[in-house]
């Protein structure tokens, strides 16, 4: 991919992701800028995924079931398809569309909104006849930013579900101690709480 085009695409995805954080904030009854200000000075990630042809397409996975540890994922698929999401105890295919992007909530944002939004369990399956490619943008905060839900989302009826943590702690956990999967945030929470005598 041409570097200039790649950089422009990254910039466009960053702008889009920050706009989405504004809508998420409004939907939770928060100030429009609440999440945007948290992520504006962050270091996000862009990744090009390439899945080769696999004759065992029905039984092989390109990427196993997992939730993204980041805040938001914006995915552009090619026309081959292969993305599946898990909902209501079933895997559902997400058909590619040239005029649409796929947006997933990740574990970091799930913790930041105290579970009001859920991270999306998904996987990538390979194709028996065609290569598959996708372009993923991951919204991340600055590594030293402390992730905690706003007080407005905490009450006597809705207690804290996750401890304070930094993005660097979650990133280290997924890279050194535990591969990202559908239970990453749950296991990360146990790991953090066990290392802090004061708990949440």
Residues forming the active site: 132
Residue written as token pair 């649409």:
100
CB 72 within 8 A of CB 138: yes
How distant, in Å, are the alpha carbons of 68, 77, 125 from that of 10? 18, 15, 25
State how far the Cα of 187 lies from the Cα of 181, in Å rounded to an integer.
Answer: 10
């Amino acid at each position: 991919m041409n570097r200039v085009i790649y950089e422009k695409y990254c910039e466009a995805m960053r702008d889009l992701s920050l706009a989405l954080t504004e809508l998420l904030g409004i939907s939770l009854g928060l100030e429009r800028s609440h999440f945007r200000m948290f992520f504006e000075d962050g270091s996000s990630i862009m990744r090009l995924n390439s899945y080769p042809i696999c004759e065992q397409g029905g039984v092989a996975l390109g990427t196993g079931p997992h939730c993204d540890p980041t805040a938001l994922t914006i995915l552009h698929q090619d026309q081959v398809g292969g993305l599946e999401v898990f909902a209501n105890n079933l895997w559902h295919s997400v058909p590619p569309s040239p005029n649409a992007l796929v947006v997933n909530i990740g574990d970091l944002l799930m913790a930041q909104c105290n579970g009001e939004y859920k991270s999306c369990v998904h996987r990538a399956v390979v194709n028996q006849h065609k290569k598959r490619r996708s372009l993923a943008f991951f919204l991340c905060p600055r590594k030293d930013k402390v992730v905690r839900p706003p007080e407005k989302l905490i009450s006597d009826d809705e207690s804290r579900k996750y401890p304070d943590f930094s993005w660097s702690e979650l990133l280290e956990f997924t890279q050194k101690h535990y591969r990202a999967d559908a239970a990453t945030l749950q296991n990360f929470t146990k790991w953090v709480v066990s290392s802090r005598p004061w708990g949440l």
